Chain A
Amino acid sequence: MKQFTSLALAIALAGCAHVATKPVATEPTAPELKAIATYVHGQGREPLTVVEDMVREAAKGADAGAGLSVELSTLLTGNANFDCKQFVCRMLAKIGTEANVPSISPLLYDEATADIARFALQPIPGDAVDKALIKALRSGPAEARVGIVNSLGMRGSRAAKSDLAKLAGSVDPKVAEAARAALAKIG
């Protein structure tokens, strides 16, 4: 429990330093990013490794990778393959900020992409992430609901407590059990 609480505190504190803004780029400019738009599992992984290198180095920069994250997130709003978007979400889990939320959160509303969106959002600090997850919890696809509940629990999202308390009484046992577990983590 201590771990969940401390992680939640870190997320909340870090979130104070950011202000949610919409991404400005509409498509990636870096050729390394353009090269992965058509990536599918089974192809050589080298182009992805190049981007991983970029992410690791950007994370050491003054903006902790925020600039690169905005460019990366444009791959989520375009016609990139699912496998590319999944990879991008993994990278955003490392360097994403609240500024990426408008690009990521629409994926929560599609059962096919809700999980990869959570993989990106769950570790990103900031209230904007909690708000996006709570909004999707209320109005997103039912199939994504348990996963969103779980992510809110892992984030220690106090803003989600009232929604989770309602869901703890859900007639859907999976939702109810997940909500109770999430509330226990949030404390």
Chain B
Amino acid sequence: MTPHPEPDSTPPVILMRGVSVPSQRDSSLIVAESIDWTVRQGESWVVAGLQGSGKTDFLMMTAGLIQPCAGTYEFLGCRMPIFEADRLQERLRMGMVFETGQLLHHLTVGENIALPLRYHHNLGPAEAARQLAPLVEMLELGPWLGSAPGTLGKGWQRRVGLARALALRPEVLVLDNPLGGLDPTHSRWWLALLAELSRGHPWLDGRPMTLVFTVADLRPWNGSGHHFAVLQGRRFIPLGSWASLEGQDEPALRELLATSHPAGKDLK
């Protein structure tokens, strides 16, 4: 494994200053404002929020799919969003996993996974399949490669979306509610995989991945080494590690924990 630079010696992966996020459905509606946030290389951030708090809009903006309506957002030093052709290489350093997978329904599962590799590296189907075989095996998607996405359950569709996002080996991965609606077996699988990606996965040559994901339930992340933030009432509040949540007197956090932790026991 190649040595990695100290986290603080590199420029931030994500740098937001005074950013306001519009709603994707109605651009005149602001879902979060005055966001000051810095994500450094290799960090893993959990953004918690109740339903309707604007988590998906926030994540879409983070992924560059929505333009912030105020403030500045730089991704790896590039002003977002970066749709210009000459910024494509920077853009491909970030992958996104949608909550419902957002698979292309006119393609099979295998074609969905191979699409970014075939498009950006101009590969034939056989060569793309050969290069992606380890990823497909790692995500246990082999039996469904020839299936239509609509025949898969939501959990598996999301997993196909993860495979598609990882196909180009991005450095940063943003995930929208990765554990939403999953059974305990799938949830455990996702928790283990995200932890491994954060540490450094063989598919990424052992390079620790920068992760940002939204959640509606904090319980599965109890004691994890992630950074936490809360999105509530148009405010984005970076809070720090799980241990530091205990001392927080943030009303938004208390409200969120009252929902996800009935007696607040998991924090004690």
A binds B: no
A→B interface (CB under 8 Å): none
